[in-house]
């Protein structure tokens, strides 16, 4: 490993290989995206806050797949990070052919339980950084007439509001609508923009959000493995689909959500939130 976090490929003769930039790549779905695209022969640029985990992953993927991996640390809560990241990428002479916006986390308490600074950082990570990286990546993709952007949204972006998670569903709804609009704007250009809306997916997300005990009590059939979510997303991106909902159960849930009257949906959400509070209190 070189000091700049760059892991060189052993065979440098393949100049046609494309490069994927993945945010939040150190764990969970982001890590699975890195593994999947590495196996497909893409070079990788990986970014997250935890460089130790990134460097271990990058070295392993480079060795296993004969690709080049580059690690650039960055905290998307810092408004300067997207532009700094892009400047470093272009300064190294790298080209981003695939952008996978995946960095994110959850906040579970009521809106007023957090200081505004935490909400501000959340919006920066979950909304502003996604949009800015799309804005930075798209001009080059359009000029080259090839590019893929995947924005990791959520089934929560299609669901009614809930008690707690106040900004989470709202941020994911933003990503869905932005991706749909960008997909229309780039139609016929060779650039595909896709929002993926996972449901319950096995990853570190729920442990980080502090709700692992609650989700462990949920039926197993509701859950998907992260690698399956990633595989469906890749196929949808290559097919030029604006949105994808991985998994049959999740697609059925989305269908129901679209057809339930808004007032009834909110009533059901209120009852579900109350049941979760009761369960948490008894745990």
pLDDT for 220 beyond 80: no
Domain assignment present for residue 249? The answer is yes
126 DSSP assignment: I
58-75 pLDDT per residue, tens:
999 999 999 999 999 999
Tell me the CA distances in angstroms from 60 to 1, 54, 73, 92, 98, one per residue in order: 11, 10, 18, 22, 21
pLDDT for 169 beyond 70: yes
Domain assignment present for residue 1? The answer is no
Structure tokens at 230: 């990633």
Domain assignment present for residue 262? The answer is yes
Q: What is the pLDDT of residue 30?
A: 95
What is the domain extent for residue 39?
A: 6-282
Determine what percent of the chain is predicted with pLDDT higher than 70: 78
Q: What is the pLDDT of residue 278?
A: 42
Contact 1, 55 (CB under 8 A): yes
178-191 pLDDT per residue, tens:
999 999 999 999 99
Helices (H) and strands (E) in the chain, counts: 11, 10
pLDDT for 22 beyond 70: yes
Q: Which residues are part of the catalytic machinery?
A: 168
Nearest to 131 by CA among 162, 153, 159, 109: 153
Q: What is the pLDDT of residue 7?
A: 44
pLDDT bracket for residue 201 (50, 70, 90): low
Q: What is the pLDDT of residue 252?
A: 85
Phi, psi (rounded to 5 degrees) for 21: -100, 125
Nearest to 153 by CA among 193, 198, 184, 108: 198
Q: Does residue 223 or residue 214 have the better pLDDT?
A: 223
Nearest to 283 by CA among 210, 223, 222: 210
pLDDT for 144 beyond 60: yes
How many domains does the chain contain in total?
A: 1
Tell me the CA distances in angstroms from 212 to 24, 86, 119, 207, 280, one per residue in order: 20, 35, 22, 5, 11
Across the chain, what does the average pLDDT equal? 85
pTM equals 0.84
* CATH number, domain with residue 136: 3.40.50.720
Domain assignment present for residue 51? The answer is yes
Q: What is the pLDDT of residue 259?
A: 72
Domain assignment present for residue 115? The answer is yes
C-alpha 153: how far from chain center? 6
pLDDT bracket for residue 8 (50, 70, 90): very low
Q: What is the pLDDT of residue 265?
A: 55
């Amino acid at each position: 490993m070189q000091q700049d976090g760059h892991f060189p490929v052993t065979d440098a003769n393949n100049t046609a290989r494309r490069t994927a930039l993945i945010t939040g790549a150190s764990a969970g779905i982001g890590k699975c995206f890195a593994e999947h695209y590495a196996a497909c022969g893409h070079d990788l640029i990986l970014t997250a806050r935890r460089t130790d985990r990134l460097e271990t992953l990058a070295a392993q993927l480079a060795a296993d797949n004969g690709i080049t991996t580059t690690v650039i640390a960055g905290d998307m809560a810092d408004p300067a990070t997207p532009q700094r990241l892009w400047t470093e990428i272009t300064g190294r002479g790298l080209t981003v052919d695939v952008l996978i916006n995946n960095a994110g986390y959850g906040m579970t308490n009521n809106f007023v339980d957090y200081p505004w600074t935490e909400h501000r950082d959340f919006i920066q990570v979950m909304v502003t950084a996604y949009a800015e990286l799309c804005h930075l990546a798209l001009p080059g993709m359009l000029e080259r007439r090839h590019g893929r952007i995947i924005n990791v949204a959520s089934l929560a972006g299609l669901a009614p509001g809930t008690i707690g998670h106040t900004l989470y569903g709202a941020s994911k709804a933003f990503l869905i609508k932005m991706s749909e609009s960008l997909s229309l704007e780039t139609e016929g250009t060779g650039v595909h923009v896709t929002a993926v809306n996972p449901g319950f997916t096995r990853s570190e997300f729920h442990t980080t959000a502090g709700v692992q005990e609650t989700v462990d009590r949920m039926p197993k059939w509701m859950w998907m493995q992260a690698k399956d979510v990633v595989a469906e997303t890749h196929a949808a991106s290559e097919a030029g689909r604006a949105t994808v909902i991985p998994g049959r159960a999740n697609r059925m849930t989305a269908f129901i959500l679209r057809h339930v009257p808004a007032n009834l949906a909110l009533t059901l959400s209120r009852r579900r939130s109350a049941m979760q509070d009761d369960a948490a209190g008894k745990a």
